Every structure is written in structure tokens, then in C-alpha cells.
């Protein structure tokens, strides 16, 4: 069950936000093989000046369309799966929005089954 937080500029349209969200979700379905209904995301639309970044980092240029994607998920995926996920997310976002692949920053945080509760104060994935 990934939980996704997306930080992006408020100048992006509602359709851009939807396209970004769906690009991330479809990539997770394709690469991490999550269920289609495993769709938990929060979009944080930020004012100008609230997203800080360098002009370039690791020789990757950044613009005012920069967005941060934080994925919290259970551990267990290979490095190759993670790299494939990052590539799919960035290319899908770039194909459907004004955000270039260079402006897609992804942070993956891993945890374990007892770290999740889906309501009722229970850790449903603990046997």
C-alpha cells in the first residue's frame, strides 16, 4: 500500500494534477504490482517560493515546474524495480503535463506491514 504525497506549484491546472496523480498510480500498478484500488494520495499545491530547489543538481536542470513525489511503501522491491518505477513516473508525467522529466524528483521511503493502519485503529496487514 503506497501512500503518495505530491508537492507541486499551484500554477498547475486541476487536469495537470489529475494527470500527475494517475501517472504515478499507473506506474505503481505496472511496476510494483499494487492493486488498482490501492490509491491513496495527497496533493499539496504550493505558492511560488514555497518549493525550493537549485537550478541544477547532479547535472539535472530544474525549473518552476519542479515537483516532489514522496512515496511511502512497504519494503521488498529490488533496485531495478525502483529504477523502472522512477523512469515510468517521470516519462508519463512529461508526456501528459507541462512538467519535464527533469523536474520530477522522487523520494521512496520504505517501512513494514505493522506500520500501516487503514482505519479502526487496527494494523490490518499484521497476521
- DSSP 8-state code for residue 120: T
Chain segment 62-84, per-residue pLDDT in tens:
999 999 999 999 999 999 999 99
Order across the sheet with 67-74: list the strands.
40-46, 3-9, 67-74, 104-111
- 86-101 per-position pLDDT tens digit: 999 999 999 999 999 9
Residues in the chain: 127
Provide the CATH number for the domain formed by 3-115 in this structure: 3.30.429.10
Number of alpha carbons in the 13 Å side-chain half-sphere of residue 85: 24
Contact 121, 82 (CB under 8 A): no
Q: Domain residues of the chain, as ranges?
A: 3-115
Amino acid at each position: 500500500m503506497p501512500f503518495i504525497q505530491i508537492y507541486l506549484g499551484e500554477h498547475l491546472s486541476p487536469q495537470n494534477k489529475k494527470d500527475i496523480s494517475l501517472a504515478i498510480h499507473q506506474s505503481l500498478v505496472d511496476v510494483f504490482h499494487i492493486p488498482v484500488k490501492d490509491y491513496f494520495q495527497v496533493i499539496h499545491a504550493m505558492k511560488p517560493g514555497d518549493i525550493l530547489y537549485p537550478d541544477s543538481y547532479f547535472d539535472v536542470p530544474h525549473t518552476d515546474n519542479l515537483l516532489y513525489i514522496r512515496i511511502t511503501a512497504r519494503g521488498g522491491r529490488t533496485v531495478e524495480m525502483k529504477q523502472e518505477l522512477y523512469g515510468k513516473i517521470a516519462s508519463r508525467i512529461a508526456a501528459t503535463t507541462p512538467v519535464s522529466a527533469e523536474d520530477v524528483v522522487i523520494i521512496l521511503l520504505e517501512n513494514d506491514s505493522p506500520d500501516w493502519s487503514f482505519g479502526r485503529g487496527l494494523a490490518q496487514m499484521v497476521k
